[in-house]
Amino acid sequence: MLKNPLKINKVLIIGSSGFIGSRLIKKIKASDKNKLMVLLHKNFNFAYFEDFDVIVSSLTNVNLEHFKRFKPDVIFHLGRLKGNGNFGRLVAAYKGKYANNRMIKYLSKNDLNPRVFYFSGTLVYGNQCSEIADEKSIISPTSFSKEYHLAETPWYEESLRSSANISMLRLPWVVGKGSWFYHHYIKIALEHGFVPLYSNGKNWMSLIDVHDCCSLVLHLSNHSKIFKTINLYNPNLIVRQNEFVEIISEVLNTPVKKVSLRNKIFRDNAFNEAMRFSLKVKSIYTDLYNNYNFKINDLETLVRQNINKDNEKRRI
């Protein structure tokens, strides 16, 4: 069991209006012990954030003097610049790398040493078929991570320093309303009358409910042990895609239809690679998972609780 819980008072969330960030902020907001500063860019309801210290800016142009004024104890970094296509993602990644280097240098220059949790993904391990990947596995980015991984390298390299207070969080497929789960499975089923099964469906998917994901992150942040890199996942939700799709089909009472994925020369194949991506996520930090209780541990409950039957996106 992890010991020596940290006392968190000031929390800075970068990317707080996104899919995971918006859920994370709700869980932090539930406690009146914390003060929050949020960095927002677009697509947010300002009224929801009126009780917080709000910065409205892009990641690349944010006035970092706000960080010095606030002096955060913890930073949850979910911010990522997006781009379309290989070239667009590459440009966004270089801009993100610049922004992250700028942030790291500013924190160091001003003697700010918050605990930083940087949100990454397990796509960095590459397609492993039926193999297991833990924190010691070799990095071999695939799909969207081929370009986006570049943006996170400043934090990763900084985390390798012995005195660094940084944790790289590698997330699996995070399931929730408004996520890839909705757009690539549920929306298609509701609009076209079939649940898509991408390729042969034999690829392994490591899943976690978005609320369990946020709770696990906060569990980590409340303890003094620093995990330089840690895989976040639910050991009970590692399934093949065809099992996942069959449950969606049963819940929606909608047939399954196989959708072929063909790579095209000189075209962006990131989506195809993502939907073929196969990986069983594990962690070397067994004590953490042996002593943690997930709220959703079975596939049917995961699907039922996250299906939005009204075809309506509920975003903050």
Q: What is the pLDDT of residues 75-113, one digit of tens each?
A: 999 999 999 998 999 999 999 999 999 999 999 999 999
- Strands 229-231 vs 166-171: parallel, antiparallel or unpaired: parallel
- The pLDDT mean for the chain works out to 88
Q: Flag whether pLDDT at 49 surpasses 60.
A: yes
Spatial distance between the Cα atoms of 182 and 308, rounded to a whole number of angstroms: 8
Q: Give the pLDDT confidence of 5-31 residue by residue, as tens digits.
A: 455 689 999 998 888 998 998 888 766
For residue 194, is it within any domain? no
E strand map for 106-188:
115-121, 132-133, 166-171, 173-175
pLDDT at 298: 94
Q: Which of 64, 56, 53, 149 is CA-nearest to residue 99? A: 64
Q: What residues make up the domain containing 119?
A: 10-172+209-233+282-293
- The helix-helix angle for 145-159 and 85-109 (nearest 10°) equals 10
- Give domain status of residue 228, yes or no: yes
Q: Is residue 217 in some structural domain?
A: yes
In a domain, 298, yes or no: no
Predicted confidence (pLDDT) at residue 235 exceeds the cutoff of 60? yes
Domain membership of residue 261 (yes or no) is no
Is position 39 within any domain? yes
> Helix or strand or coil: residue 158?
helix
Classify residue 254: in a domain, yes or no: no
Domain count, the chain: 1
The reply to whether the predicted model has a pTM over 0.85 is yes
Which CATH number fits the domain that encloses residue 132?
3.40.50.720
Confidence of residue 296 (pLDDT cuts 50, 70, 90): very high
Residue 95 within any structural domain of the chain: yes
pLDDT digits 0-9 by tens, 116-132:
999 999 999 999 988 99
Token pair, residue 309, equals 């039957």
Give 48 or 161, the one with higher predicted confidence: 161
In the chain, the amino acid numbered 160 is L
**What's residue 2's pLDDT?**
40
